[in-house]
Each structure stands twice: as structure tokens, then as C-alpha cells.
Amino acid sequence: MDLQQVKQRFGILGNSPKLNYALQTAMRVAPTELTVYIQGESGSGKESFSKIIHHLSPRKHGPFIAINCGALPEGTINSELFGHDKGAFTGAMDNRKGYFESVNGGTLFLDEVGELPLETQSRLLRVLENGEYIRVGSSKVQKTDVRIITATNKDLIEEVEKGKFREDLYYRLSTLPISVPPLRSRPEDVALLFQKFAFDASEKYRNEPLELSLDGEQILMNYRWPGNIRQLKNIAEQIAVLEQGPRIDASIIRKYLPARAENNLPALYKGKSEHSDVSERDIFYKVLIDLKNDVSELRKVVFGLVEGNQVDEEFIENNKSTITRVLTQENTVQENNNYTPVHSVNSDELYEHVVVEDQDIVADNEVLSLEAKEEELIRKALLKNNGRRKKAAQELGISERTLYRKIKQYEIDN
């Protein structure tokens, strides 16, 4: 079965490279008995990947059960998963099979596995290692032949660091990880998914089919979709049911999106814990946006200075604060919610820094890639701190773990 056949069979739309890679990984691992760990945000379609793996595996004729670990009460979760004997606790009137016994020979999908209590994690580790479990209230060891697929929207490495998830269990679960991309990382698929969901809703409720305008499509592509596919489907169904006209434009879509829906650039994050790397991308976006505004303002100042290639010194003096701010570039890092300038320029040196020739302020060959700027900042921070990653990470405003990942990504030898 090829990729397109899998998409058609399981109702998966989109042709994003990240989505295709995740699907191809699931198809390749399906015939094996490897434990699969699916990571992705809530609503991104992790359960669909577990079904693909099961139905393309030798266990396809066996049972398949999907369990949301976060929805199981902590007091009865061991009983639900492993079963219990009569009299094991108050209310245990009879023996009960757990999911590991009921799904014997099949596949068990444990969604939100990061919500499992530590005691249950120990029991799960034994199942993964030896295929053995013990019912609650029993001393008899039982065997099970179950393939386990897990998923979570949490960063389990961070949970391990916080002591909320067993490290040995993490490495046992992540034998083969699959990363399901969030909807915002595949904007080329958003319009297609919206039209599919809206068409299905129109067919179901016998309404007129909808037509998405170009500006409406742009609004959908620019939105970050924190609820991913689930949120997109809900909004498409609302519009299909409530709107009368067949043409759906940007003004209509805006009514159904939450506030701040159209801006895909994140705001600067004000608070950051020791291990958090939420603000990393936000800071770089903020720097680039401020730089763009400063360049526009400096352009106006420079054009005011240029008159027959003669510099008006009084004009420079009146606009000294603007020129100083732009020339220093005020590249800052966030530390304890304060901003510290990286360097400053003496106001006496302003005159020689002002460009009075008739040329563009940004050179044609200047590299404006966000990744290139990110790599440059990391190299400078490491050089400044003599290769000490902890100090460099603090100055960049990111966690040491994130810095280590970036060093590997950009192949920085420090």
C-alpha cells in the first residue's frame, strides 16, 4: 500500500512534507513489533497514526483499543489497565479483566501517557520489558501479548527532569518516535482541510456548498490554530451551518476566529521559567520587527540629511536619539524580565556613522535569514562566554537544553 492509498483509506488530507514524512515512518514501522511513541499537539491527529500502524501490522485482525490516560481516575487506573481480583478493594464484587488482558494479541494505544501516575508507570514498564503484569489484589503473574503505542502532547524529557515521568520508561517507550506536525507548520493544507470539513457539514445538513475566497484562504493560513485540526473542523462546521451565502471571505472568517487570530507572529513572552524555551523564537521575531521599524525611521532621517551631499549638523543634533538607538541596534536578551543592551555607541561618533551617500540602507547581499541570525547570535554568545554553554544560554534567554539542540542543529564546534 503506497502513501496515497493510506491517505485515502484513513481519510487524511494534505501534502505537507512533514506530514508525508510522519506517515511514511508509520507505514515502515507498522509491520514490526517496535514500541512507537507519537508526539504532537492536542488535536493534531495522533490517534489516526496509531490506527494506521495497527491496521498495517500483522495484528490487524486483533483488537485495537485507544485509551486516554488523562481521563482515567487515578484511584482506579491500575484496575482499568491491569484488572483486579474480587475483594481487592471496596466495590470489587467480582474479578475484572483489564485492557492488557482484553487486548491480548492486538494493539493498545495509550494517549496522553504523560498523565500516568508513577506507580502505574512502574507497572507499564514491566509489561514493556517482560510482557508480564499483575492484577490489583492478586499475586499471580500473568502474561500478555500486546503491542503498545503511546502518545502525548507533553515534552516527556521535561517531565523526566521534573521527576514526574520515569526516565527508564521514557527510553523504553521512545524506541521509535513519530512527530505529528501541528497545523500551523503545514499552512498549505489548511484551505484544503477547511473546504473538506465545510463540504461534509453542508452535505450532512443539506446546505448550499461553500466557496472560499482568496482573502479568506489567507486568513486561515495566517492563523496559528492552537487547537489544530479539531479547531479547524469546528470552525468549518459552524460557518457551514450558520452562514447563508455561498462565498466565504475574510470578513466572515474573522467572526469565528478568536481575538488576535490573524497575526501569525507571536508577541514577546514576558515570563520564563528556568527550563522554559518558549521565548526563544519570540525574541528573534521581536528583534527583527523592531529592526525593520528602526531602519524605516533611520531612512527618513538620512533622507532629511541628504541635500546636495551636504550634512546638516543641526539636523543630526536634533535627531541624535533616533540615530543612537538605531546604530546601537539594541539587540537585547531577556533575563529576569529585564532587557540589557549588548553594546552602545558613543554619541560623539554619530557623525561618522551617518550614511550620506545615495544608497539603500540594507545591502543587497546582506543575509536576513532568521536561522542565520539565530546561528550568529549563538556563536557570539559562546565566544563571549569562552564556550561555557550555561552562561551562553542565560545570556541568550533560552534553556541550556535548547542551546545544546541548536549547537547540534547548526553544527557549531565550540
CATH number of the domain residue 37 falls in: 3.40.50.300
**The last residue of a domain, from among 256, 291, 315:** 256
Strand 332-335 to strand 338-341: parallel, antiparallel, or no bridges (unpaired)? antiparallel
The number of folded domains in the chain is 3
Residue 267 lies in a domain: no
Q: Which amino acid is at 358?
A: D
Predicted pLDDT at 356? 41
Sign of CA dihedral 337, 371, 362, 293: negative
Q: Are residues 297 and 241 in the same domain?
A: no
**The last residue of a domain, from among 181, 208, 236:** 181
User: Average pLDDT for residues 268-297, to the nearest whole number?
Assistant: 53
Predicted pLDDT at 164? 93
Most confident listed range (42-56, 87-101, 197-211, 397-411): 42-56
pLDDT confidence tier of residue 175, bands split at 50, 70 and 90 = confident
Q: Are residues 189 and 310 in the same domain?
A: no
12: left (phi over 0), alpha (psi -120 to 50) or beta: beta
Tell me how far apart the alpha carbons of residues 280 and 269 are, in angstroms, rounded to a whole number: 9
**The last residue of a domain, from among 181, 205, 221:** 181
pLDDT confidence tier of residue 7, bands split at 50, 70 and 90 = very high
pLDDT over 60 at 267, yes or no: no
Q: Are residues 379 and 395 in the same domain?
A: yes
Residue 269 lies in a domain: no
Q: 55, 12, 14, 8: which is closest to 31 by C-alpha?
A: 55
pLDDT confidence tier of residue 298, bands split at 50, 70 and 90 = low
Residue 266 lies in a domain: no
Q: Are residues 302 and 248 in the same domain?
A: no
Residue 395 lies in a domain: yes
pLDDT over 70 at 304, yes or no: no
Phi, psi of 159 (to 5 degrees): -65, -35
Predicted pLDDT at 344? 44
Phi, psi of 363 (to 5 degrees): -65, 150
pLDDT digit string, tens, across residues 209-249: 888 999 999 999 999 999 999 999 999 999 999 987 788 99
| Contacts of the segment 358-363: beta carbons below 8 A, 24+ positions apart | 358/306, 361/295, 361/298, 361/299, 361/302, 362/295
More confident position, 127 or 292: 127
Q: Are residues 141 and 288 in the same domain?
A: no
Residue 288 lies in a domain: yes
More confident position, 278 or 141: 141
Residue 155 lies in a domain: yes
pLDDT confidence tier of residue 316, bands split at 50, 70 and 90 = low
pLDDT digit string, tens, across residues 322-352: 656 555 544 443 444 444 444 444 444 444 4
Q: Are residues 195 and 165 in the same domain?
A: no
Q: Are residues 404 and 300 in the same domain?
A: yes
Q: What percent of the chain has pLDDT over 70?
A: 73
Predicted pLDDT at 388? 86
Strand 176-179 to strand 36-39: parallel, antiparallel, or no bridges (unpaired)? parallel
CATH number at residue 192: 1.10.8.60
Tell me how far apart the alpha carbons of residues 288 and 296 are, in angstroms, rounded to a whole number: 12
Q: Give the mean pLDDT of the chain.
A: 80
Q: Are residues 391 and 321 in the same domain?
A: yes
Residue 271 lies in a domain: no
Q: Are residues 27 and 114 in the same domain?
A: yes
Predicted pLDDT at 299? 65
301: left (phi over 0), alpha (psi -120 to 50) or beta: alpha
Reading the block at residue 122, the C-alpha cell is: 512502574
Structural domain that includes position 293 = 279-409
Element (H, E) at 292: helix 279-305
Predicted pLDDT at 336? 42
Alpha helices per DSSP H over 17-166: 17-29, 46-55, 77-82, 99-102, 118-130, 156-161
Q: Are residues 50 and 117 in the same domain?
A: yes
Lowest mean pLDDT of 12-21, 112-121, 224-233, 292-301, name the range: 292-301
Q: Which amino acid is at 104?
A: N
pLDDT digit string, tens, across residues 24-73: 999 999 999 999 999 999 999 999 999 999 999 999 999 999 999 988 88
Tell me how far apart the alpha carbons of residues 7 and 19 are, in angstroms, rounded to a whole number: 11
Reading the block at residue 310, the C-alpha cell is: 551636504
Predicted pLDDT at 75? 79
Lowest mean pLDDT of 198-212, 248-262, 341-355, 373-387, name the range: 341-355
pLDDT confidence tier of residue 269, bands split at 50, 70 and 90 = very low
Predicted pLDDT at 382? 86
Predicted pLDDT at 390? 87
Reading the block at residue 17, the C-alpha cell is: 512534507
Spatial neighbors of 243 by CB under 8 A, at least 6 apart, are: 210, 252
Asked if 213 and 249 touch (Cβ cutoff 8 Å), the reply is: yes
Q: Are residues 176 and 192 in the same domain?
A: no
Q: Are residues 133 and 193 in the same domain?
A: no
Tell me how far apart the alpha carbons of residues 242 and 259 are, in angstroms, rounded to a whole number: 20
Residue 403 lies in a domain: yes
